[in-house]
Structure 1
């Protein structure tokens, strides 16, 4: 099935899809400064890659994918070209998805590797930021504080939140739900914002 993206203008910028606009609105709710399609990165061999978003305050690139993995191999090439796997707070690439359960919760994941990407809040600057838990730990990508992120003020993606809750409930019974809430706040959920849609035009009789 070929699903065509529908452009949407949000805050003066026309995004190639409503999902991109929704992610821009979600970034706004977090108070994050972001750039949309800032510049193309040379991957070598005459190949250039234009990522959807860059969060310059965090050294994070974001690529929006709907319910498909088209051109994901290009995103993996881009990840290898810019990512800093051995440097806490270094360049990070995140795949952004459509909202998932529970409710309309934000959904994202890493390009490669077995590490989890979360969004944590720093107790020093009070900003929220992406963090790759395997490497960054509690490093704040905004202010650079090495042990700044608060351990129980953390969002994880919708899919990861559901999987973690089910896993802990299976292991500990009813205590699993309380454990997840203790670890990740409101079950790790980050509300996914929705950019305003234009009013539907009435058809003339």
Structure 2
């Protein structure tokens, strides 16, 4: 299997955004219940699909993404940063919550634990990391070129498909972890397919 180079992954995201524009639209995914006034980090904010829904809840939101093209085309550029999720440019205990929607699965295995530790570092006491990933039951698991076990590359962008045990093993520095599955079917060209996500809440 091939190794995953972070620079090449970032370049792949930038190319995808340049070619396809705002990649992610449609209805936002469900968001956690946080109090108005919470300071929230949108980790891997992409082209900003969830920024307005977050701000509409009265949260103060900072977005960060490694792809400059994603930040450039985002309509809500205020408080957006180009940066590395595994080396966050924030002080310890800065945020009440961190929300990472489909970012953990776009990292190679060796960096997922590093991201988890960085997120804990920037969370305040009793803060939480709300994280969404794809499960191995998802229709796209197995599609593309396998670069690590259950990690597949399409257009040079990698996606890992998780088990609950893998996520439990990442709990590491957090004191608590809750896991929920969201499974539904979609119809494409007359055939039914399964989409399944796992939502985790790591509590500091």
Fold in common (TM above 0.5): no
Bucket of the pairwise TM-score, normalised by the shorter protein: 0.3 to 0.5
**Structure with more strand by fraction:** 2
Q: What is the TM-score with the length of structure 1 in the denominator? A: 0.32
Instruction: Report the structure number with the largest CA radius of gyration.
Output: 1
Q: Give the structure-2-normalised TM-score.
A: 0.32
